[in-house]
Structure 1
């Protein structure tokens, strides 16, 4: 069983549904509204745990009902919450997900306590990092804390996975040098490399660029099309499963978490792990809400057999 530690964000998601996005100055009625657990870090941790990994979370919430709610989302899925700190300085993070009838989403985030995660918080969780197969991080918590965590991981022989989302051009070269696997989507890939993703040739060019920046293993996810992977000089493309998508909010996070639950620490089974992650993601997009949609290992395996 893989041991996975996730350093990242916890957000309470407010999902607003409507037929289409309003034009400037236009008012439209909602067709629905709901609340669910979210945050890229929490989503990925829950996905890893539900897919069978022993999972620990490093993050921060406020002393509020939202913080209690988010911790419960973790523990209900079997995620160890002992390194989730509480702060009096800000409220628990929140996100507002705008979802139209075609399942296209746009997301607005208030980082809250996610922006208060520090190197000291990471140091407190060093025992979990040292004991893990993988340390996963994203960009919804401070880069300084992530880089510090990756340094601890590398010193301990723990492999590192970076999901560079939300997209940013301000990624330190020193962080990429500590990253064993990077997994951006096509938009994030273009931000990091300047390469516009249109076909496999452009994926190879972008992935090679990332390798030249110091990351040996790369996955580029391209939504409903699938995922490209490269490991050393080997590469391939794994098509996505065709399903009727309802809400794509947690698709990428489910992919990362599920991937980490089956991936070998030397990345030797990268193609197989990507197929498993694609299957998990295909199940997540068929339900509404981020964390409520994340499948279990049994559900993923059942879909594989179907």
Structure 2
């Protein structure tokens, strides 16, 4: 059985590297065009298996070439894909990721079936046997149902709700999880004024979402400035690692993989943040959403 189950998006990514992001009515030169598997849940699963953590993926793809390729790529890396649902009523979700010379990214998404899976597509015995469940952006009802089932069987849960945390109705799920991953923009949306402080001391100034997060441990990613953990009255900080960013796509997912892997081994928050920041830095320094993570590469960076 897998130690971790990742639930959420499994996509096909088309990455366009351009010389610069154009202004309105402007034009840019496409310097390269690459297709590969993507999606937050899939990226985290790939990172975890690279860190020697047996991992299963719960998600959905269409019965098309992109879906088959995305699943085959993950399976070749060692991700257990037996809970990936093949959907015949729509296409695999495709994301068009545009990356400029400085590594800045914007994303164009096409409709697809990456939220067609449901909580009951995951057998109860698989969830009970896992050490941890990681949720990413997905149907709010599915996220809440999975978090509730995990809570009932004593499996810990983390959640990375993504950029739409403020408008997708995730409050039920957020109340049930142990850890929530947010970047600075998402933290500002979710917590309001509390984003600059320990959220437990500010009364949930972010409204309903802030209130839902009031008893949750927050892991806030500051990009090149590192990251922090806010656990009740405690605050743990790591400054990160200086790297020349090539492509920040997937860096947050790699960060989550490193943090989860470290916590499964009972590492302290400080050490977990160091490992997570190293994973994010390695990913940002290379093109594509899935840098090959392994302990040898991480140890080289951590020692420096």
| TM-score of the two chains, using structure 1 as the length reference | 0.90
Distance in 2 (CA, whole Å) between partners of 1:213 and 1:235 is 15
1:156 aligns with 2:153: yes
Distance of aligned partners of 1:144 and 1:206 in 2 relative to their CA distance in 1, 3 Å threshold: same
Unaligned runs of 5+ in 2: 205-209
For 1:45-64, list aligned pairs within 5 A.
Answer: 45-64=45-64
Q: Does the CA contact (< 8 Å) of 2:237 and 2:273 recur in 1?
A: no
Q: Does the CA contact (< 8 Å) of 1:67 and 1:92 recur in 2?
A: yes
Residue from 185, 198, 223 that aligns with 1:204: 198
Deviation at 1:230, TM superposition (A): 1.5
Alignment correspondent of 1:290: 289
Aligned length: 297
Residue from 176, 183, 186 that aligns with 1:185: 183
Secondary structure in 2 matching 1:5 = strand
For 1:163-182, list aligned pairs within 5 A.
Answer: 163-169=160-166, 170-182=168-180
Distance in 2 (CA, whole Å) between partners of 1:185 and 1:58 is 24
1:115 aligns with 2:115: yes
Q: Does the CA contact (< 8 Å) of 2:172 and 2:212 recur in 1?
A: no
Distance in 1 (CA, whole Å) between partners of 2:292 and 2:18 is 23
1:30 aligns with 2:30: yes
Secondary structure in 2 matching 1:190 = helix
Q: Does the CA contact (< 8 Å) of 1:2 and 1:261 recur in 2?
A: no
| TM-score of the two chains, using structure 2 as the length reference | 0.91
Deviation at 1:25, TM superposition (A): 1.4
Alignment deviations for residues 54-87 of structure 1 (CA, whole Å, 9 cap, x no partner): 1011011111111111111211221111101101
Deviation at 1:264, TM superposition (A): 4.0
Q: Relative contact order (C-alpha < 8 Å, sep 6+): which is higher?
A: 1
Q: Does the CA contact (< 8 Å) of 1:137 and 1:161 recur in 2?
A: yes
Q: Does the CA contact (< 8 Å) of 1:147 and 1:175 recur in 2?
A: yes
Distance of aligned partners of 1:279 and 1:248 in 2 relative to their CA distance in 1, 3 Å threshold: same
Distance in 2 (CA, whole Å) between partners of 1:224 and 1:135 is 27
* C-alpha RMSD of the superposition: 2.2
Distance of aligned partners of 1:212 and 1:81 in 2 relative to their CA distance in 1, 3 Å threshold: closer
Distance in 1 (CA, whole Å) between partners of 2:158 and 2:252 is 14
